[in-house]
Amino acid sequence: MSRHALPASGARDQVARLLTLVPFLHHRDGVRLDEAARLLGTTSEQVVRDLKVLFMCGLPGGLPDDLIDVDMDAIQTEQGGAITEGMIRVENAEYLARPLRLSATEASAIIVALRMLRDTSTGDNRDLVGRVLEKLEGAAATAGAAHVDVTPSPRDAEQVAIVDRTRVLTDAAAAGKQVRLTYWVPSRDEESERLVDPRGVVSHGVFSYLDAWCHRAEGERLFRLDRITKLEVLDTPTATDPRPPRDLSSGLFTDVAGEDHVVVTLRLAPEARWATEYYPVRTVRTDPDGSAEVDLVVVDRRWLDRLLLRLAPYAVVVRPAEFTDSFTARAQETLSLYG
């Protein structure tokens, strides 16, 4: 492979190269830049970029004596107007040669984090984290560390349930099987049963969604996984043509069309800006004073009324005007209940 045909490097590849490069350099007085590049299977330019990251790594504290020292001037030198590759020298990394020692508190914290990571991972990642956790728990037991007993919080248990739903629904989509699910609709505060042809599970923001053809709605729909209360994979094959799940990188409603979907523009004061992180919005236009104007697609007018009641008095409808009248009537009705 030529140096110009090397694949693009990501953060994960960079960490792997640094974990290989630092011990290699530590046991040598100096290594030529081109030799290091051949060792790592990359280019000299990429090694220089990696070393610029290493320059900011070290022990906690971040003081000069805590960080690994890389002699950047010795790596590339100028001779006769041309840049030539020099030697890589790394100092102040002696602690990397010492075995890592964890206190009981440190080991317990890592074990707790790994258990959560394992329970919320899928596929090969889950197996990999499980093997690391098994080794760490074994080492902690040998060292006489206290047993770590963790009772998951309701939020943690919900995340584990979402991971399980993701696995089941992904397998159903791959097998071309229909799914019967019970779905909670917050705008009506009721559950409905749906028969769907699953396409796959996709994510947008902090939520995961099942992209599927809904036979009840006779159209493509997104179902938030945390609102699915029951699901059953059926033996019946999907009745629609298979297709991959949609791409949500540009937003949830970029391809929404129909008479029952309306784009509503809201003006949010700074106190209500948090809503843009929890509700799917199409665009957000911020102002210097911290307020924002947002566009969102509304399918159910009652849902918008409830959202505005929750955000009041820090949100108003900019357009269309009919939604302002609807919300005003709903607010007056609500206030009358306190009379």
Question: What residues does each domain of the chain span?
Answer: 3-97, 104-142, 157-237, 262-336
Which option is the CATH number for 157-237: 1.10.3470, 2.30.30, 1.20.120, 2.40.10? Answer: 2.30.30
Task: Determine the pLDDT at residue 258.
Answer: 39
The yes-or-no verdict on residue 169 having pLDDT over 90 is: yes
Task: Determine the pLDDT at residue 236.
Answer: 95
The yes-or-no verdict on residue 257 having pLDDT over 60 is: no
Asked if the 3-97 domain carries CATH number 1.10.10, the reply is: yes
Task: Determine the pLDDT at residue 30.
Answer: 75
Match 């629904």 to its residue by tokens: 169
For residue range 76-85, list pLDDT tens digits in order.
655 554 445 6
3-97 and 262-336 agree in CATH topology: no
Mean pLDDT of 15-43: 79
* Residue of higher predicted confidence among 284 and 89: 284
Task: Determine the pLDDT at residue 190.
Answer: 79
The yes-or-no verdict on residue 119 having pLDDT over 70 is: no
The yes-or-no verdict on residue 197 having pLDDT over 60 is: yes
Lowest average pLDDT, out of 41-55, 169-183, 316-330, goes to: 316-330
Q: Which tokens sit at 129?
A: 């984290």
pLDDT mean across residues, the chain: 76
Q: How confident is the model at residue 153 (pLDDT cuts 50, 70, 90)?
A: low
Lowest average pLDDT, out of 4-8, 178-182, 281-285, 287-291, goes to: 4-8
Is the pTM of the predicted complex or chain greater than 0.75?
no
Q: Which tokens sit at 266?
A: 């809201």
Lowest average pLDDT, out of 80-89, 107-116, 305-314, goes to: 80-89
Mean pLDDT of 213-242: 89
The yes-or-no verdict on residue 95 having pLDDT over 70 is: no
Percent of the chain past pLDDT 90, that is, above it, reads 13
Asked if the 262-336 domain carries CATH number 3.40.50, the reply is: no
